[in-house]
Structure 1
Amino acid sequence: MPYNTAPDGAQTFYKDWGSGRPVVFSHGWPLTADAWDVEMKMVADHGFRGIAHDRRGHGRSSQTWDGNDMDTYVADLASLIENLDLRDVVLVGHSTGGGEVVRYAARAANGRVSKIFTAGAVPPVMIKSDSNPEGLPREAFDEIRAGVLKDRSQFYQDLSGPFYGANREGSQISQGARDDFWRQGMTVGLAAAYDCVKAFSETDFTEDLKAIDVPMVIAQGDDDQIVPIADAARKAIKLVKHAELKIYPGAPHGIGGPYQEALDKDILAFIS
């Protein structure tokens, strides 16, 4: 299995499928590169090179005690892209991964990025504050941390419901998809799962979004129960110079079912 060595020596697992223009995928919490397998195969089948990594602490990557923060995640991504010497890169990020690719493009890309596509991304900032009164209260994220510490196996099983909208009438998400969410989550180290909650909820990406100067699609379901659309995509679109907003009626946070089919068509159209 291929691994990249991060600046601090951490080993980052990655998948590298196909050949052609690189499309780099960044996953959400508490997932792994496996969350992008369908999209990876899709882009590879259409003449692109799909690359997806397990964020440090997740999946097959090193479970480091330190570095479970957004700036280190970005440094890891930068190291991977630079060591593979990828150029004319299309970035695709979901949820926490959306924040990761936005900050990378704004601060570390050095001209390597040509397009960005985010889905259900956490930017601009999730947590409620005086400057972000519409955000979610800190107590909501404290509950996530408490769930991870108390019984993360059951917590991930329960979380898969609102994550994929399985708690909505008419949901077409399968039990298998929910089980795979649990499977991936259970590969995440406890320290990484816990610390990443602060990374995705408290990191402010406002200035990063303002700095984006390449074409970008900001996509989100309007029934996202994890990252509220009013505090995410609808705010982010106002900050990026060259962005298009795509809203998927009734779609959840997790990429699956009919939402995945529609999203994948849009991703492929954008990168083509």
Structure 2
Amino acid sequence: MPWITTNDGVRLHYYDEGEGRPVLLVSGYGAPADDWALQWAPLRAAGYRVISLDRRWHGRSDRPAWGQRMSRHGKDIDELLTALGLRDVLAVGQSMGANSIWAYVSLAGTARLAGIVTVDQTPSMVNTADWPFGFYGLTEENLGTFFSSPGAFATGRGRAWPDPAAVDTAIREAGGRGAESLITPDTRPLLLDHSRQDWRDVVARAEVPVLITAGADSQFWPAEHAAATAALNPRATSAVFADAGHSCHLDRPEAVADRIVEFAGTLGGPSRRTGPR
């Protein structure tokens, strides 16, 4: 199993299979790298090298008492790409994984990237007068206490969540280890930091093509966030997955894989410097 060790002594696990332009897949809050298992085979079959990262406190990676902030998760992505010598990378993130990519871009820019895809993640979680596309019910007034409520994620919006047992079985059949979740009190500081960030200025300055996608029936925020986010950058476009909630890649796995492959095909040929194997 491949690992890297970060500059603060944390071992991060990742999967790395296939040949061609690297596609980095970053999972959401609590989800392991295996959460992307339903996209692995289609992406490899389309001619891409597929790299899936277990962020710190996720999957098989170490679970340290430090680094529970988005900036550190961005730094971890930077260290992974640097350690593997990767360039021309298509970075794909779902939920908090998407904002981890924006944290990376804020830190390191887009020199190593060919493009970015986000899957149902608003760049600003807080609803304000100029941004009504945040997490349902989250405002500047209740920001400090909102996620302390055990029912915060039960918004009563969107479609029913996919059956955990069925998802676990599908992931295992696709070659993953299952749909283990690591949402624990230990990671609450990370969730709070995530909820406070506003990445709109980073989106606006991204110097590579960007695709912002949303689930039409997301449980967390209006699907209109995708078009509103894409409007921030002339290089950005948006798409909405019908019949999908927040976990678009699980609700509509083939459609998400197809959209990633389609977008990757618009990026031009990869450099030969895609990193050592």
If the TM-score is normalised by the length of the shorter chain, which range does it land in?
Answer: 0.7 to 0.9
Q: Can you list the C-alpha shifts for 1:238-265, whole angstroms capped at 9, x where unaligned?
A: 2122111101234211135652222221
Does structure 2 conserve the Cα–Cα contact (< 8 Å) formed by 1:57 and 1:188?
no
Corresponding position of 1:262: 255
Distance in structure 2 (CA, Å) of the matches to 1:267 and 1:163: 26
Aligned residue identity for 2:127: K
Structure 1 residues 213 and 141, CA gap change in structure 2 (3 angstroms): same
Distance in structure 2 (CA, Å) of the matches to 1:130 and 1:36: 35
Distance in structure 2 (CA, Å) of the matches to 1:31 and 1:162: 22
Secondary structure in structure 2 of the residue aligned to 1:184:
coil
- TM-fit CA distance, 1:179: 5.5
Distance in structure 1 (CA, Å) of the matches to 2:56 and 2:196: 19
Structure 1 residues 109 and 15, CA gap change in structure 2 (3 angstroms): farther
Say which structure is richer in helix.
1
Corresponding position of 2:138: 137
Corresponding position of 2:101: 101
Corresponding position of 1:73: 73
Number of equivalences: 254
Corresponding position of 1:184: 180
- TM-fit CA distance, 1:141: 7.9
Distance in structure 2 (CA, Å) of the matches to 1:259 and 1:204: 28
Give unmatched runs, 5+ long, in structure 1: 148-154, 168-172
Matched, 1:4 2:9: no
Distance in structure 1 (CA, Å) of the matches to 2:239 and 2:55: 26
Identity of aligned residues (%): 27
TM-score (structure 2 length as normaliser): 0.81
Distance in structure 1 (CA, Å) of the matches to 2:143 and 2:44: 38
Structure 1 residues 27 and 175, CA gap change in structure 2 (3 angstroms): closer
- TM-fit CA distance, 1:269: 1.1
Q: Can you list the C-alpha shifts for 1:122-157, whole angstroms capped at 9, x where unaligned?
A: 31x11235664664425488454443xxxxxxx89x
Structure 1 residues 117 and 179, CA gap change in structure 2 (3 angstroms): same
Q: Can you list the C-alpha shifts for 1:15-71, whole angstroms capped at 9, x where unaligned?
A: 111122100011111211011112122212222110011111112111111111110
Does structure 2 conserve the Cα–Cα contact (< 8 Å) formed by 1:23 and 1:49?
yes
